[in-house]
Amino acid sequence: MEFFKKGLAVAVRNNDEDGTLYLTGNVLNILLLRKRSIAKSMLPELDSIVTRGSAKSIKPIPYSEICRTYLHVGNAGRAKFFLDQLLEFQKSKPLSPSEEMPVYRAAYEYYYYLKDFRTARRYLDQEAVLAHRSLDTRRLQGIYQSRYKLDSVDGNYKSAFENLKKFKTYTDSTAANKARNELQTLTVRYQLEMKNDEIKLKSDNIKLLTKDNDAQKALLHRADVIRNITIAAIVLLIMLLAALYSRWNANRRNSIIIANKNQRLEQLVREKEWLVKEIHHRVKNNLQTIISLLETQAAFLRDDALSAVLDSQHRIHAMSLIHQKLYLVDTSTSIDMRPYVEELVHYLADSFDPNAKIEIALDVDHVLLDVSRAIPVGLIVNEAVTNAMKYAYLNRETGVLQVSLKQSPGKRIELRIQDDGIGMPPTMDNVRPSSLGMRLMKGLANEISGELAIESRHGTAVSLIFPLNEPIVTTPERPF
């Protein structure tokens, strides 16, 4: 019983449903046959173990055993629960005779306990059919004993006497079979021991006769083994040296090939970097040429035309400055936005406010952006700062313009340009801006998957939040 309990604990701990139900059935069988005195105290724990699995994991034998055990301790209600589970499970799928007979046994004992002898006899007859078919003498013994009890209760003493005789016959047959099996087992064991003793005696004699011969053979064999090992070691050593030399020679050739390829790749990388730098340099020169042309043209323009040319000049300068930065640094793929934004803002401040009446407050992190993001961000900074310089401080001598670029832990970048000027007109539509600058900022924000917001409280604030690693949205044309 103790080993069954330990095995049951291991099965429960490892969530082994089949093992748990198998061992639970064995424990319940022992409780019914030998330890009925402790059945009541152990039933709650066994009940929770049996009902823990799903409906598909019902096993007829443990359910039948726990139903019968509950009847033994007088808990017919809980026994009825397990009997109903068994009968439902029997209807849901076909069972083998060894699984179906425990169902009928549990049903018989339940209705016998309720003194519904007619129903009890019906289930007992169904069990008897299966027992006769499978020639299960042990179960037939119990069936005839149960029929004897039912006939005695019904007053059919003749049938009860016949069933009692059959019960005794099967009891004697079972005991005789058990004794015969035990005798056969003992006989086999005795013959096996005799054979073992005989084999052992012959083996000892053979060992004594061949001991001297084995000693001589051992000496000869040892000499042969030593000679063979020496020859094999020499052959293996030669093969190992040849393999090592071949491997060393192959590694040397591969190293030369890899070194030549690496040298070629390094040369190609240097040539590529030089070409990219040359491209940035030429783009910057071309943009500077365009700026110079615009400056020449601006000398002959007035009012709105002059303002449009100057705005275009500033935008081109913002892009030219990025190519200049990329040309001057070691890497040609990304740009540090802090020196770029600082230089761009100071350039615009010098252009619109040569007397430095407006204070510039910069708070820019060292954020690395690739060209596809740096150009849109630079153009948005250019537009926002230009608008602030031109319109925020009309009829004012002083003011503060704040520019910040911050990187959040979630790999998102926030750009914010805020002035303390007169603010935007209340009729300005933030969703559908009509000016070229506003449309330009909106289009650039969409291009880098950013969220652009413009607020007009205590001045004007332009904020842009965009992801650092999202793919760039390509558009057919930019709005400028």
228-241 pLDDT, tens digit per residue, is 999 999 999 999 99
Whether the per-residue pLDDT at 172 is higher than 90: the answer is no
User: Can you give the pLDDT at residue 175?
Assistant: 66
User: Can you give the pLDDT at residue 91?
Assistant: 87
User: Can you give the pLDDT at residue 33?
Assistant: 47
Which of the residue ranges 92-96, 238-242, 266-270, 305-309 has the most confident prediction, judged by mean pLDDT?
Answer: 238-242
User: Can you give the pLDDT at residue 267?
Assistant: 75
Residue 4 banded pLDDT, cuts 50, 70, 90? very low
User: Can you give the pLDDT at residue 226?
Assistant: 93
User: Can you give the pLDDT at residue 36?
Assistant: 52
Residue 3 banded pLDDT, cuts 50, 70, 90? very low
Above pLDDT 90, what percent of the chain?
Answer: 16
Residue 478 banded pLDDT, cuts 50, 70, 90? very low
Whether the per-residue pLDDT at 190 is higher than 80: the answer is no
User: Can you give the pLDDT at residue 306?
Assistant: 65
Q: Does domain 335-467 have CATH number 3.20.20.80?
A: no
User: Can you give the pLDDT at residue 431?
Assistant: 40
Q: What are phi and psi of 427, to 5 degrees?
A: -85, -5
Choice between 302 and 3, residue whose per-residue pLDDT is larger: 302
Q: Residues 215, 216, 222, CA angle at the centre, nearest 5°?
A: 90
The ranges of the chain annotated as CATH 3.30.565.10 are 335-467
Identify the DSSP state of 58: -
Residue 388 banded pLDDT, cuts 50, 70, 90? confident
The ranges of the chain annotated as CATH 1.25.40.10 are 2-135
- What's this model's pTM, rounded to 2 decimal places? 0.41
Arithmetic mean of pLDDT, 186-195: 79
DSSP E strands, 259-330:
none
User: Can you give the pLDDT at residue 10?
Assistant: 55
Tokens of 375: 């150009």
Total Cβ atoms within 10 A of residue 144: 21
Whether the per-residue pLDDT at 465 is higher than 80: the answer is yes
Residue 479 banded pLDDT, cuts 50, 70, 90? very low
Question: If we measure between CA atoms, which residue out of 130, 177, 122, 176 comes closest to residue 146?
Answer: 122
Helix axes 76-92, 97-113, angle to 10 degrees: 150
Choice between 409 and 341, residue whose per-residue pLDDT is larger: 341
Tell me how far apart the alpha carbons of residues 347 and 344 are, in angstroms, rounded to a whole number.
5
Residue 174 banded pLDDT, cuts 50, 70, 90? low
* 442 within 8 A of 433, measured Cβ to Cβ: yes
Helix axes 371-387, 436-447, angle to 10 degrees: 150
Total Cβ atoms within 10 A of residue 447: 20
Residue 78 banded pLDDT, cuts 50, 70, 90? confident
- Of 166-180, 337-351, 420-434, minimum mean pLDDT range: 420-434
* 315 within 8 A of 379, measured Cβ to Cβ: yes
Whether the per-residue pLDDT at 403 is higher than 90: the answer is yes
Residue 452 banded pLDDT, cuts 50, 70, 90? very high
From the options 1.25.40.10, 1.10.287.70, 1.10.357.10, 3.40.50.10790, give the CATH code of 2-135. 1.25.40.10
Distance of CA 305 to CAs 183, 195, 289, 302, 416, Å? 123, 122, 20, 6, 29
Which of the residue ranges 19-33, 43-57, 126-140 has the most confident prediction, judged by mean pLDDT?
Answer: 126-140
Choice between 46 and 169, residue whose per-residue pLDDT is larger: 169
User: Can you give the pLDDT at residue 69?
Assistant: 83
- Tell how strand 412-419 and strand 461-467 pair up: antiparallel
Question: If we measure between CA atoms, which residue out of 388, 448, 446 comes closest to residue 420?
Answer: 388
Mean pLDDT of the chain: 78
